[in-house]
Amino acid sequence: EAGVAQSPRYKIIEKRQSVAFWCNPISGHATLYWYQQILGQGPKLLIQFQNNGVVDDSQLPKDRFSAERLKGVDSTLKIQPAKLEDSAVYLCASSYRSGGYTFGSGTRLTVV
Amino acid sequence: AQTVTQSQPEMSVQEAETVTLSCTYDTSESDYYLFWYKQPPSRQMILVIRQEAYKQQNATENRFSVNFQKAAKSFSLKISDSQLGDAAMYFCAYRSAPRDNAGNMLTFGGGTRLMVKP
């Protein structure tokens, strides 16, 4: 079984620039999650999709973050404009109903 | 809302010895799952062990076992015969039992960095 694919692996941008991350979940996994993990902390949910619909985006800073999951498969998370405090690892995960999660390797974002 | 607390930012253990990582959580739900994840420097979240709240028996996976105290809302991880490869960040996580076909989010603790001394 192929894992959750994420790209890029690393990204360095200047503040106020924009950036996008991509995630391709496990085939057949209807639920997709984006987590933000700030250095030294546990991951925090940003947004959860069920197929191509949003289940929970209560923790997503909607003034600068956006996410979409067209066709219920892969997903893109965008930040525009980036702030210094957005420096973090962005983890994507997918799950099938009540099954276990599979995480991607994450994208490490550094905003300078 | 559920919260997960890991009170040990760092732990150290001698190779081949046993170490216990602590985790407490707060919830008003009766049906849920608890997890321990390992995160090495590669950033990949690796599932170590899972416990269903309705099960009284503590989960075990080879050298890893948990002490699940539902009334006390405590969920500790014991690593026996520690190996150098066990060194990593360990996260305790909570997940509500699903009520429909949708998956549920994980709520993570702040993590414990485990160091293994040769």
Q: What is the per-residue pLDDT across A10-67, written as a single tens digit (0 to 9) for each? A: 999 999 999 999 999 999 888 999 999 999 999 999 999 998 899 999 999 999 999 9
pLDDT attached to residue A42: 96
Q: Could you tell me which of B20, B66, B36, B45 has the C-alpha nearest to residue A33?
A: B45
pLDDT attached to residue A12: 98
Residues of A in Cβ contact (< 8 Å) with B98: 97-98
Question: For B81-93, what is each residue's pLDDT tens digit?
Answer: 999 999 999 999 9
Task: For chain B, give the percent of residues with pLDDT over 70.
Answer: 96
Say yes or no: B106 contacts chain A, CB-CB below 8 A.
yes
Which two tokens mark A38? 């700030």
Task: For chain B, give the percent of residues with pLDDT over 90.
Answer: 83
Distance from CA of B25 to the nearest CA of A (A): 14
For residue B102, what pLDDT band results from cuts at 50, 70 and 90? Answer: low
- The reply to whether residue B102 touches residue A99, judged by beta carbons under 8 angstroms, is no
Backbone phi, psi, residue B29, to 5°: -85, 155
Question: For A34-44, what is each residue's pLDDT tens digit?
Answer: 999 999 999 99
pLDDT attached to residue A72: 82
Which two tokens mark A7? 């790209």
Residue B17 has pLDDT above 60, yes or no: yes
Which two tokens mark A86? 């957005």
Q: Could you tell me which of B117, B96, B97 has the C-alpha nearest to residue B107?
A: B96
